[in-house]
Amino acid sequence: MKPAAASPGQAKGEESKFKRLFVEIWKYRMTYTLLIPGLIWLILFAYLPMGGLSLAFKHYRANDGIWGSQWIALENFKYVFRDPAFAAAVWRTLYVNIIKLFITFPFPILLALLLNELRMRRYKKVLQTAVTFPHFLSWIIVSGIIINVLAYDGLVNSFLALLGLPTINFLGSEQTFYPMIILTDIWKSTGWGAIVFLAAISGIDQEQYEAAQIDGATRLQQMFRVTLPNIMPTVTIMFILSVGGLMSSGFDQIFNLANAATQNVSQVLDVYIYRITFQSSTDFGFSTAVSLFRSIVNMVLLLLADRAAKWLGGDGLFR
């Protein structure tokens, strides 16, 4: 059976759509010109480097370069899937990040809602600065502080000992590793993450609040009936983007807080990639194969989250 040909009307519709777009661009050409530097950046630093992904299918020799190295089809992937540590790292990454996502994601929204309710502007600014500050500390510094605080002879255990309570092995326990990762992540990223939602809140039409007040809504009701629904599109987009990054866990954080005792729970995919790239013999083809696998899973997750958001009646990332 022949496939049904596109109707002339459909083709005409497509044509006029592109024409409209072109007319639109030409009309606002000065504004669109502003896009060009960003597009150049994107092409140079995001799209062109993607050519390097071909290394996943090559036997890389630095002298031959990325393009000149020999194609070896899926051989690198054969070695990747042979290593049980790889599969374990994939599942561990998903596990850690899903937990992290569901626990940490609401915090910036909550903080933004609460900060929005503060009426004393100075206090609000001081508080916002205080909660945003940890974002600017590198994980090396933060992990150094945490290790010192939670060590056997650190602040917390010394305090426990002072109270006559048993000390806790925070750093060397698999049970405490994920809570430590999540709590430190909340502390470090909540303030920064709240900025996006605060920006979304500031864009809400004030008349909606005035109308709600006239209707007798309390501040809590205004928060849940006016503020939250208005920032939902932003929340959805941020959620979709977070889902798209589920396979890329915070390498700096986990790498710096992990040790031999927590190896079985801390070797996420990024740590695995680091280990095979820098601790074993160099094999950029092998590590690119792992990275490519990660990117594909990330993309699939992103598309799935986008579909799910649309299916639930919300806004998606792609129109």
Residues at the contact surface with another protein, assessed by CB under 8 A: 29-30, 33, 36-37, 40, 44, 61-64, 79, 82-84, 147, 151-152, 169, 171-172, 259-261, 263-264, 278-284, 286
CA distance 147 to 315: 42
CB closer to another protein, 173 vs 298: 173
Q: Which is nearer to another protein, 16 or 280 (CB)?
A: 280
Bridge-based pairing state of the strands 70-71 and 58-59:
antiparallel
Q: Measured from the CB atom, is 81 or 136 closer to another protein?
A: 81
How far apart CA 95 and CA 251 sit, in angstroms, is 15
Q: How far is the CB of 302 from another protein (least distance, A)?
A: 29
What are the φ and ψ backbone dihedral angles of 71, each rounded to 5 degrees? -75, 135
DSSP state of 6: P
* Minimum CB–partner distance for residue 19 and another protein (Å): 21
Task: Decide whether 171 or 302 has the Cβ nearer to another protein.
Answer: 171
Cβ contacts of 308 within 8 Å, gap of 6 or more: none
Short-list 245, 111, 250, 277, CA closest to 185: 250
CB of 297 to another protein, least distance (A): 22
Question: Residue 291 Cβ, how far from another protein at the closest point, in Å?
Answer: 16
Closest to another protein by CB, 81 or 95: 81
Neighbours of 93 (CB within 10 A): 23
Quote the least distance from Cβ 169 to another protein, whole Å. 7
d(CA 251, CA 277): 14
